[in-house]
């Protein structure tokens, strides 16, 4: 009897462990454009983005400006991110947190859970179809939400063979780092053509700098935007969010 009680208690603890904080998917389902504001210090394409890097202040600015979720880079070598920073910021907000990294193996999915992530990113272009599906299913089974990131129609085909509910369209070409906002339009047109647009929440990523960009993406009907560099370079990120017309 004692052993059975212990096992039952462990099952309850595991369910609580798998239950994450607030849902990004729920935010995307609300009226208006969902903002995922990103915290990152550097990138391979632009080098050092924030020389006066104050992540806690940046997070506070995002919260005060009404961001719906926050993306935090954890890649150390190329983006100067930090897992320790992610864990630290987790304790300072109950907003959905996206762990932004190059996840290619199951151990990273488990790691994301223990870091306190609510959402992870899976990049279709760096994962074979089977691996993408397996990592997605693992994350979902652990109670994590997943953004499946695509850049090309080939990536989209992979994403559609998973149980993905959230698709992130990266307007940055990961091979040459060029930016083209029309990438979002092309992907959406393909989904409309296949009459599958309603099956997914769509997030536009990268290259969003001005209010005109937001207006363009709103016109396409995206559900959310992920903005990093523009907000990290802004002297007043809260003011910049208002200038962009998101909140």
Q: State yes or no: is 51 an active-site residue.
A: no
Residue 147 near residue 183, CB atoms below 8 Å: no
**Among residues 40, 43, 145, 185, which one is catalytic?**
40
Q: State yes or no: is 173 an active-site residue.
A: no
**Among residues 171, 185, 206, 229, which one is catalytic?**
206
Kind of pairing between the strands at 69-73 and 145-150: unpaired
Q: Which of 232, 247, 197 is nearest to 49 (CA)?
A: 232
SS3 26: helix
Q: Cα–Cα distance between 84 and 186 in angstroms, integer? A: 37
Q: Which residues contact 109 (CB under 8 A, 6 or more apart)?
A: 103, 120, 135, 138, 139, 142, 144
Q: State yes or no: is 25 an active-site residue.
A: no
Q: What tokens does 54 get?
A: 């104050």
Element (H, E) at 97: strand 97-100
Axis crossing angle, helix 83-90 with helix 55-64, rounded to the nearest 10? 40
**Among residues 100, 112, 185, 240, which one is catalytic?**
100
**Among residues 170, 185, 229, 240, which one is catalytic?**
170
Q: State yes or no: is 170 an active-site residue.
A: yes
**Among residues 43, 71, 112, 149, which one is catalytic?**
149
CA distance from start to end of the chain: 55
Q: State yes or no: is 158 an active-site residue.
A: no
Residue with tokens 């090309």: 152
**Among residues 38, 61, 145, 185, which one is catalytic?**
38
**Among residues 43, 205, 229, 240, which one is catalytic?**
205
Q: State yes or no: is 182 an active-site residue.
A: no
Q: State yes or no: is 209 an active-site residue.
A: no
Q: Cα–Cα distance between 231 and 240 in angstroms, integer? A: 7
Residue 26 near residue 165, CB atoms below 8 Å: no
SS3 186: helix
Point out the residues that are catalytic.
38, 40, 100, 149, 170, 205-206
């Amino acid at each position: 009897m004692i052993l059975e009680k212990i096992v039952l208690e462990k099952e309850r603890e595991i369910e609580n462990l798998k239950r994450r904080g607030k849902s990004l998917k729920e935010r995307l389902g609300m009226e208006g454009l969902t903002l995922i504001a990103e915290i990152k210090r550097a990138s391979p394409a632009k080098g050092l983005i924030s020389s006066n890097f104050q992540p806690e202040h940046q997070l506070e600015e995002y919260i005060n400006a009404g961001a719906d979720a926050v993306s935090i880079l954890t890649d150390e070598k190329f983006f100067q991110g930090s897992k320790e920073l992610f864990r630290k910021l987790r304790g300072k907000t109950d907003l959905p947190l996206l762990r932004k990294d190059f996840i290619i193996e199951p151990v990273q999915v488990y790691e994301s859970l223990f870091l306190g992530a609510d959402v992870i990113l899976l990049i279709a272009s760096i994962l074979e179809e089977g691996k993408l599906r397996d990592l997605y299913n693992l994350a979902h089974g652990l109670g994590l939400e997943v953004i499946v990131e695509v850049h090309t129609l080939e990536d989209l085909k992979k994403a559609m063979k998973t149980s993905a509910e959230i698709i992130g369209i990266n307007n940055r070409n990961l091979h040459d780092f060029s930016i083209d906002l029309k990438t979002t339009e092309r992907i959406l047109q393909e989904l409309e053509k296949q009459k599958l647009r309603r099956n997914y929440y769509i997030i536009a990523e990268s290259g969003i700098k001005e209010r005109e960009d937001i207006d363009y993406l709103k016109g396409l009907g995206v559900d959310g935007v992920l903005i990093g560099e523009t907000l990290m370079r802004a002297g007043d990120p809260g003011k910049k969010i208002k200038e962009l017309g998101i909140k």
